Amino acid sequence: MILDLDISSMDNWLSYKSRPFVISGPCSAETEDQVMETAIHLSKIPQVSVYRAGIWKPRTRPGTFEGVGSKGLKWLKNVKEETGLLVGIEVANEKHVEEAIKHGVDLIWIGARTSVNPFTVQEIADALNGIDIMVLVKNPINPDIDLWTGAVERIAKAGIKKLGAIHRGFSTYEKTIYRNQPNWQLPIELRRRIPGLPIICDPSHISGKREYLFDISQKAMDLNFDGLIIESHIDPDNAWSDAAQQITPEGLKDLLRKLILRNPDPADPRVLDVLGELRQQIDLYDDHLIDLMEKRMKVAEKIGLFKKENNITILQSTRWDDIIRNAIRKGEAKGLSAELIDAIFKAIHQESINHQIKVINENSSSSSENNH
Ligand code: PEP
Ligand code: MN
């Protein structure tokens, strides 16, 4: 599905001072001093364009700090006047949008707990109709690319011309080193569906821990993301929310200095020649993979028919365990991760079962017809 979103009619609003476009500031606005002090430090980092601070906080459990509310918007207005930084907040309903507009907020983002809900996203889109403001749509909590795309579409349809997406990772039940799984293939797919839509990475909410911020930021740059939104606080360990993932403005400066920005669009003909040739090799191998897959499925269909004739179930789990175990062993000997082999072979196996089921059902319907 390639969407019918006319990104070309949108403003080239990410004409940032320097790549990446950086949004930073505390997870939550806590006090007037904390907001201003953090902002003053950040305003001295040239890459920082927008100051973020959560005003209304969606917390997992009740009884924790849920944000200072509208009074924090006045603090942000002061930040804007004092430092010249643009200011941005999360909105989760129509009232938040109205308050943000009233207080001259420059950028709003729709949080992960809101972009899951098409009713709420539409309510926000309706409140934004005809307003000139930057809007970023965070990925929904669950890894659902259609839901994310749909939320972007709703905001685009409201006529927002400064639109983008934020990749903040996806919730999983499994415990991993990250707070939210990056699932990089989803933002990559969003870029394929809506070419030209700016994508900002949120390493803070992906990692949940400050020590992983750099690696995730570097990866986002290597994947040619347009910007970063990173939580920062003058006293991170004592932050009222998300303490473990926030860094000091000094830490942010250091992180940005260390980032390696590679060229997304090489112009040198020699570089392009070599790259072009290597890409041709890749394309050739991809064609081989597809041919092989087709051949494999044809054999699976023959097996399906044979099983049908001999009244054998499609699935024999011991045979399948053997295949995966052998493939992982062979793959590892060739430097391929067990994770890759496992994912590929599970997908191939599922496809194989689908082909067998199809063949068996086609056969059984024709044979039942013959019985009449
Ligand atoms: C946030 O940016 O502070 C936030 C709550 O993020 P998310 O919606 O990604 O959880
Ligand atoms: Mn946060």
The class (CATH top level) of 269-371 is mainly alpha
Closest residue to atom 3 of ligand 1, CA basis: 27
Return the closest-CA partner of residue 137 out of 123, 119, 150, 128. 150
Specify the residue for token string 């005003």.
Answer: 55
Question: Does ligand 1 have an atom closer than 6 angstroms to the CB of 198?
Answer: no
CA distance 110 to 129: 15
Provide the 3-class DSSP secondary structure of residue 1.
Answer: coil
Answer yes or no: is the C-beta of 111 below 6 A from any ligand 1 atom.
yes
Question: Do 10-258 and 269-371 agree at the fold level?
Answer: no
For ligand 1, say whether the CB of 52 is within 6 Å of any of its atoms.
no
3-state DSSP assignment of residue 366: helix
DSSP conformation class of 212: G
pLDDT digits (tens, 9 = 90+) for 277-320: 899 899 989 989 999 999 999 999 998 889 888 988 877 778 88
DSSP β-ladder status, 86-91 and 107-110 = parallel
List, as ranges, residues with CB under 5 A of the ion ligand 2.
27, 242
> What's the token pair of residue 145?
């690319």
Q: Are residues 207 and 213 in contact, defined by beta-carbon separation less than 8 angstroms? A: yes
Buried-state track 230-260, b at ≥16 Cβ within 10 A, e below 16: bbbbbebeebbbbeebbbbbebbbebbeebe
pLDDT (0 to 100) of residue 276: 86
Ligand 1 mean position, distance from CA 219 (Å): 20
pLDDT tens digits for range 174-212: 889 999 999 999 999 999 999 889 999 999 999 999 999
Which ligand gives the minimal distance to the CA of 241?
2
In the chain, domain spans? 10-258, 269-371
Q: What would the two tokens of residue 151 be?
A: 């939320």
Query: From start to end of the chain, where are the E strands?
Result: 21-25, 48-52, 86-91, 107-110, 134-138, 162-167, 199-201, 227-231
Q: Which residue stretches of the chain have pLDDT < 50?
A: 365-372
112 Cβ inside 6 Å of ligand 1: yes
Q: Indicate which atom in ligand 1 lies nearest the CA of residue 204.
A: 2
Ligand sitting nearest the alpha carbon of 139: 1
Residue with the nearest Cα to atom 10 of ligand 1? Answer: 112
CB 124 within 8 A of CB 156: no
Q: What pLDDT does residue 260 have? A: 95
Report whether residue 138 contacts ligand 1, using a CB cutoff of 6 Å: yes
Residue 27 CB less than 6 A away from ligand 1: yes
How many of the other CB atoms lie within 10 Å of CB of 299?
A: 11
What's the length of the chain? 372
What DSSP letter does each residue of 61-95 carry, written as one string? STTS----TTHHHHHHHHHHHHH--EEEEEE-SHH
Closest ligand to the CA of 108 = 1
Which amino acid does the sequence have at 196?
Answer: G
User: Contact at 8 Å (CB) between 233 and 38?
Assistant: yes
Number of CB atoms found within 10 A of residue 160's CB = 24
- The pLDDT value recorded for residue 311 is 87
CA atoms within 13 A on the CB side of 165: 30
Q: Reduce the DSSP state of residue 23 to 3 states and report it.
A: strand
Q: What is the reported pTM?
A: 0.80
Please tell me the class of the 10-258 domain.
alpha beta
Of all ligands present, the nearest one to the C-alpha of 59 is 1
Residues 98, 104, 110, CA angle at the centre, nearest 5°?
55
Instruction: List, in sequence order, every residue forming a beta bridge with 166; answer none if it has no partner.
Output: 138, 200
Nearest CA among 290, 300, 292 for reference residue 350: 300
